[in-house]
Chain A
Amino acid sequence: GAGVSQSPSNKVTEKGKDVELRCDPISGHTALYWYRQSLGQGLEFLIYFQGNSAPDKSGLPSDRFSAERTGGSVSTLTIQRTQQEDSAVYLCASRSSRATNYGYTFGSGTRLTVV
């Protein structure tokens, strides 16, 4: 597509439930990133996918968080047994593999509220 698409745009869930957040990157972008933005805070790196390589999971805050990327395209971030501190905006970004292009294109994010 023309841009990075994330769904849902908003998600309210009860504490303890599992949630899945979806990211559809720009077609042809081999790199895909997930970041978390807590209220009024900066961006916290979560996970990075590059082609068929093993993902860089170094930013995942706990084992309740996981992500997968199927077929090198769509990615799903899953949060199990959600906690109130998981409430944040989850941003996905993709990047071209061209050597001179290091910047990301971001989606509009999913605002997750855990009640």
Chain B
Amino acid sequence: AQSVAQPEDQVNVAEGNPLTVKCTYSVSGNPYLFWYVQYPNRGLQFLLKYITGDNLVKGSYGFEAEFNKSQTSFHLKKPSALVSDSALYFCAVFKAAGNKLTFGGGTRVLVKP
């Protein structure tokens, strides 16, 4: 069965510092990986995805993620965090068999001024 793990419930970072949100996956075959962000009282917004190709994927709002097959990871990164990046972040994996995304438990990011 496919699964996604986000080992950190919360990440605290000072504004201007690098931000990393961790995600590891377990899926047979080629993984299709996603990051979504949820701002307070809002639905989930798509940030970026890895389907195939370059391991470094660039997405919205200056975020990027690196697909690492040997470590089965897909960590989300941003070089310089903003207070407005404070939100709930979800990693997800899509498996064609079943046709649905399976989400990690989410990581709350708090960026302090």
Contacts and interface: CB of A to CB of B under 8 A. Distances in A.
Contacts of A109: 42-43
Contact of B51 (A41, A56, A100, A107): A100
Interface residues of A, number: 23
Nearest to B52: A100
Nearest to A31: B99
B45 interface: yes
B25 interface: no
A106 B49 contact: no
Interface residues of B, number: 22
A106 B44 contact: yes
B101 A104 contact: yes
Interface of A: 4, 6, 31, 33, 35, 41-43, 45, 48, 50, 56, 91, 93, 100, 102-109
A107 B99 contact: no
Interface in B45-103: 45-46, 49, 51, 90, 94, 98-103
Interface of B: 32, 34, 36, 41-46, 49, 51, 90, 94, 98-106
A96 to B, nearest CB: 12
A20 B7 CA distance: 35
A42 B101 CA distance: 12
Contact of B46 (A35, A48, A50, A105): A105
A103 B45 CA distance: 10
A35 B101 CA distance: 10
B43 A107 contact: yes
Contacts of A4: 43
Contact of A41 (B36, B46, B98, B105): B105
Nearest to A43: B103
Contacts of B46: 103-105
Contacts of B94: 102-103
4 tightest Cβ-Cβ pairs between the two chains A and B = A106-B43, A42-B105, A102-B94, A108-B43
Given A42-B105, A91-B43, A48 B100 contact: yes
A42 B103 contact: yes
Contacts of B98: 56
B34 A42 contact: no
